[in-house]
Amino acid sequence: MTSLQDRRIDWKSPDAQKRLRKRYGADIRLQTFGITAIAVAVLLLGTLIFSITFKGAQAFVQTHVTVSIDLPRNQIDPAAIDDAPWRQIVRDNFVKMYPDVTSRSDQRELSAILTDSAQYIVRDAVKKNPELIGKRVKFTIPASDIYDQLEKGVVRRDVPADQRPKNMTDQQIAWFDQLKAQNRVTTPLNWGLVTNADSTKPELAGLKAALAGSAYALGVCFLISFPVGIGAAIYLEEFAPKNRITDVIEVNINNLAAVPSIVFGLLGLALFLNFFGLPRSSSLVGGLVLALLVLPTIIIATRNALKAVPPSIREAGLGVGASKHQAVFDHVLPLAMPGIMTGTIIGLAHALGETAPLLLIGMKSFVTSAPESLTAPATALPTQIYNWSDSPERGFTARTSAAIIVLLGFLVFMNAIAVFLRQKLERKW
């Protein structure tokens, strides 16, 4: 019979050293693979963020031209401001800055430096302040998209004339340079990106309508999914009998959390639009569809938060004479609320970035003003990004990236709130 001494392993033998080297080598390879995977992920994420930021930064500033405009009383009737010849007023005052430009064709080419909507900008300013009539007023008017791109260096002036965009001849570039020499060209922060609604002109397009539409849709989503999701989770976790029916319900809830979002869009199209006849392309329908999308996530997060509360809390409440209802709502639910809020915020952040279900219910409309009600036509941030990315205008390329930056900012903010709530309010058991 072999003694224990004889069966001891000689760790200094060549075979033992070989096995050790093999084991250590496997550990080193695993760590190397893990570090490489993390480095590749960080590199790809950094490349994406850098690309979006580099392109989108151009949209956060906008080229403007300062023009002094006479507002004659003989052409502008205070009682009918809309009827004044605003296009002619703006063009005549802009052309006065170039006395040597006399032909009508040259004057039209000169006017192309300013945005086509310059007359509406001046008109709206006068409507807001009729006391400007009869005075000479300085206006900062956005330059047209191609000259905005020229000022930002996106469009190069040294390329042949036949390869430049339309309305960018050598003469027009010289006129624009003359404006720069007179310090009339500025590139201030583009507040219009968030204060303007959508427009066919890149230099005027903004996210106001999309932000309002997303806010309305998320509000409807929260008001429906939060109470319904928490109620369903409390019943399933605390009160429902454990039988085959509840097992089927739990399995379906878990499956719904993994269903592609476009399926919820099809459900919303069939149920809310075709069956109930709710207004198409409205924030109300968008919020209802997003509520269906978020409900499984909130239910699962709420159940996990309830499970995390120690059974002793329930037993203590029942032991002092509380009913099951009182033990759950007065003791268990307050302790689980930080986890519930975290799951809800993460679910709403998921809903904020969804595009496919909103496209199917028509929230991709061209909306030129912010919606004033839940049933008014509206768009949302993701669908606005989709529309701009599909536009052939070069100026929308930068605005698409800028809109993505805004969307990512909201997502990061919402997730930061979730992390803060978890760290500050979560109880450690």
pLDDT mean across residues, the chain: 89
Sign of the CA dihedral with 306 first, then 308, 312, and 313 last: negative
DSSP string computed for 386-415:
HHHHT---THHHHHHHHHHHHHHHHHHHHH
CA of 76: how far to CAs of 18, 68, 69, 140, in Å? 96, 17, 13, 20
**How do residues 211-243 score in pLDDT, each as one tens digit?**
999 999 999 999 999 999 999 999 999 888 888
Report residue 5's pLDDT band, with 50, 70 and 90 as the boundaries. low
**How do residues 389-422 score in pLDDT, each as one tens digit?**
888 888 899 999 999 999 999 999 988 888 888 7
pLDDT for 8 equals 66
pLDDT for 1 equals 47
* Virtual torsion, Cα 389, 390, 396, 397, nearest 10 deg: 50
Residue of 422, 420, 384 whose CA lies nearest to 404: 384
Share of the chain above pLDDT 70, in %: 97
Q: What CATH code is assigned to 208-425?
A: 1.10.3720.10
Contact indicator for 413, 71 with CB cutoff of 8 Å:
no
pLDDT for 4 equals 46
Q: Which two tokens stand for residue 110?
A: 């000169």
For the chain, the structural domain boundaries read 23-59, 62-188, 208-425
**How do residues 370-379 score in pLDDT, each as one tens digit?**
888 899 989 9
pLDDT at 348 over 50: yes
β-partners of residue 70 are 136
CA of 171: how far to CAs of 112, 157, 161, 167, 168, in Å? 12, 12, 11, 10, 8
Q: Helices 333-352 & 283-308, crossing angle to 10 degrees?
A: 140
Residue of 406, 394, 302 whose CA lies nearest to 345: 302
